[in-house]
Chains A and B, each alone.
Chain A
């Protein structure tokens, strides 16, 4: 057995503050941050990433803070699963955390890592999209905020520039229920074939605000605004059932999936409407 990373080729840095972490990430273009390690260690082992500098974020002060409107990038799935506030405020996110890996992975995998790994299938992505999350990014010069739907630029790619670090996502207080649904090949410890998250805020018997997001159906997780628009203003009852069907079809239209080992593009496109209606139906009280 050999070590996953080669010490003659990789520099290990362990900053203790965000400012130090930003400095550390700027030491090399080949620097990668590492938090729980559940993606990066595997990618290095499989030769998919070859960082020359690994910046360990686990000692960075404040990254793992969890509050009512802010999830630090270092918050683990296990922390979300243990949080009463998360269960009440962001049910879709907690459902997704429960489906992300087994207990071993949930103990280490972080929200920031999941978002920055930028998989189109990232479990926490669509739930955070339907909760209107904003990415808080620290950089060499300033801190900036980016709406989460603009955070990804492609599979495995984010808008993070050199020396920039995702430090948290912030979420406005949102009302209503949210839900997460996915299709997988194996019930546990598997990556979503396709996924969907939804949130409906219902005021006086009608939808005041709707959110729909789809995963593993396009190069990045994405919101489907057209689907949201046909839901808003609709009264709960048969009208909403019809609108959910329409929204599901529109979500299917928004798919730009690929064929891969898990499924064909055609299957993904066919399944997204199914998942979107299931997620929306779960949001109706």
Chain B
């Protein structure tokens, strides 16, 4: 310890042991919790949202990928405190009524899912990619999912599924644009 004997009060009133997170557009109360927990831990263990997976818990595998204020992040490396006031979107928020998104359906159709553990993270990453770049080339797809490790598939069918969605969305847009 230094000669500073008084611990400064830096936590502030709204960062106490109960706080709110905005998850998938809903305010979720986190009660009696410590702000030094990871966002992943809070999602899975406190809020009952196990879609974001805990695989490596060291920022390598991307299984815990979520969107935070529009940016794709590994929730295992994010402090819960830093998610306060942020707009957090998890894989659960992509298909709230249980109907699969086009990306999810394309993964199934292409046979891109084997053990499945990496898939929620990949689905979040691919939605992020296609929102940014509706018609990505293969390099863009590979770059976008480079932070998501799949140890089963070899990625071939995952890459195919992404291209299938991009093509289907482009075709649907063309249909809509017709008079």
Q: Which residues of B contact A187 (CB under 8 A)?
A: 146
Residue A62 interfacial (CB < 8 Å): no
B74: A residues at CB distance < 8 A = 38, 104-105, 108
Of A36, A78, A163, A188, which is within 8 A of B146 by CB? A188
Interface contact B10-A42, CB-CB below 8 Å: no
Complex contacts, B2 vs chain A, CB 8 Å: 26-29, 162-163
Interface hits, A37-62 → B, CB 8 Å = 37-38, 41-42, 45-46, 54, 56, 58
The reply to whether the CB of A4 lies closer than 8 angstroms to some CB of chain B is yes
Interface: B171 (CB within 8 A)? no
A54 CA to B34 CA, complexed, in Å: 12
Nearest-CB distance from A48 to chain B (Å)? 11
**Chain A residues with a Cβ closer than 8 Å to the other chain, count:** 44
Q: Contact partner of A3 among B11, B37, B78, B148, CB < 8 A?
A: B37
Residues of A within 8 Å of B34, CB to CB, are 3, 7, 12
- Residues of A with C-beta under 8 A to B138: none
Q: Which residues of A contact B68 (CB under 8 A)?
A: 107
Segment at the interface with B among A13-21, A121-129, A202-210, A240-248: A13-21
Decide: A78 near B59, CB < 8 A? Known: A15-B10, A27-B7.
no
Query: Are the C-beta atoms of A105 and B59 separated by less than 8 Å?
Result: yes
B79 contacts A1, C-beta separation under 8 Å: no
- Residue-wise, chain A 57-69 has the 8 Å CB interface mask toward B (1 for contact) of 0100000000000
Q: Are A27 and B4 in contact (CB under 8 A)?
A: yes
Is the Cβ of B65 less than 8 Å from the Cβ of A104?
yes
Contacting pair A103 B147 (CB below 8 A): yes
Among A12, A29, A38, A46, the residue within 8 A (CB) of B35 is A12
Residue numbers in A under 8 Å from B57 (CB-CB): 4, 45
**Cβ contacts under 8 Å, B41 to chain A:** 1-4
B90 within 8 A of A: no
Which residues of A are found within 8 Å of B60, using beta-carbon distances?
A: 189
A38 touching B77 by the CB < 8 A rule? yes
Q: Shortest distance in angstroms between B63's beta carbon and chain A's nearest beta carbon?
A: 10
B residues near A103, Cβ cutoff 8 Å: 72, 125, 128, 143-144, 146-147
CB distance from B40 to the nearest CB of A (A): 8
Within 8 A of A (CB), among B29-82: 34-38, 41, 44-45, 54, 57-60, 62, 65, 68, 71-74, 76-79, 81-82
Q: Please indicate the chain B residues that have their CB under 8 angstroms from the CB of A15 in the complex.
A: 8, 10
A104 with B72: CB separation less than 8 A: yes
Chain B proximity of A178: nearest CB distance (Å): 22
Establish whether residues B77 and A42, one from each chain, have CB atoms under 8 Å apart when the complex forms.
yes
State how many angstroms separate the Cβ of B47 from the closest Cβ of chain A: 13
**Interface flag for A156 (CB, 8 Å):** no
Assess the B58–A10 pair: CB atoms within 8 A.
no
Q: A23-B10, A29-B1, A45-B57 are in contact. List 14 more A-B contacts (CB 8 A).
A: A1-B44, A4-B41, A4-B76, A12-B81, A23-B4, A23-B8, A37-B78, A38-B77, A101-B59, A104-B59, A104-B147, A105-B147, A162-B2, A188-B143
Q: List 30 A-B contacts (CB under 8 A).
A: A3-B36, A4-B57, A5-B36, A10-B36, A13-B10, A13-B11, A14-B12, A14-B15, A15-B8, A23-B10, A24-B10, A27-B8, A28-B2, A37-B77, A37-B78, A38-B59, A41-B59, A42-B59, A45-B58, A102-B145, A103-B125, A103-B128, A103-B143, A103-B146, A103-B147, A104-B73, A104-B147, A108-B74, A163-B2, A188-B147
